[in-house]
Amino acid sequence: MTDSAIRIRRATSDDLALILDLIHALAAYEREPDAVKATPEALARHLFGNGFGRGPTAECLIAELDGVPQGFAVFCTNFSTWLAKPGIWLEDLFVRPDARGHGLGRALLVELARLAVERDCGRVEWSVLDWNEPAIGFYRSLGAIALTEWTTNRLTGDALRRLAAS
């Protein structure tokens, strides 16, 4: 740890190029550099505009180290029927490799936890790739519990369209 200045702030539409750059950096880290289909227009619509006719569908926090943006967290609201409360789903958390070890990831999660408590959410949840041992260890150090009995499922692309059309 150093005495570097950390600042967590809400992203604005002026950050679209930065957010897209961080998404590409995350995809490269997760060994999927060609998987990103996001565009500035789609990000603008869903982070700052009218995603589904109700306002933005997701939010983004930017982590700065000594005034330089070095990471982000993208999240949205989910809902727990058992708790009858909203929750926060953390879709992506990423800190540039050169900026790791300064507390940016922790600061992003602290802000998410603060928002969850402020919004009367029952929990904050996310997924992590099973090979990402540094992230898994980091999350455990914060008190996160891996839900190993759950399997994430996903419908996308043609399978999603086929089901929607059935």
Q: Is the pLDDT of residue 153 over 70?
A: yes
Catalytic residue among 107, 139, 158, 162: 139
The DSSP code sequence of 105-134 is HHHHHHHHHHHHHHTT-S-EEE---TT-HH
pLDDT digit string (tens) for 107-143? 999 999 999 999 999 999 999 999 999 999 999 999 9
3-class DSSP assignment, residue 41:
helix
CA separation for the pair 113, 135 (Å, rounded): 17
- Across the chain, mean pLDDT equals 95
At residue 65 the predicted structure's pLDDT band, cuts being 50, 70 and 90, is: very high
CA separation for the pair 1, 127 (Å, rounded): 26
CA separation for the pair 59, 77 (Å, rounded): 9
Q: Is the pLDDT of residue 1 over 70?
A: no
Known catalytic residue: 139?
yes
At residue 56 the predicted structure's pLDDT band, cuts being 50, 70 and 90, is: very high
Q: Would you call 107 exposed, middle or buried from its count of C-beta atoms within 10 A (0-12, 13-18, 19+)?
A: buried
Which amino acid is it at 86?
P
Q: Is the pLDDT of residue 57 over 70?
A: yes
pLDDT value for 4? 84
Higher pLDDT, 122 or 53: 122
Weakest-pLDDT range from 20-29, 50-59, 62-71, 151-160: 50-59
Q: pTM for the complete prediction? A: 0.93
Higher pLDDT, 50 or 64: 64
Question: What would be the CATH architecture of the domain defined by 6-165?
Answer: 3-Layer(aba) Sandwich (3.40)
CA separation for the pair 42, 160 (Å, rounded): 19
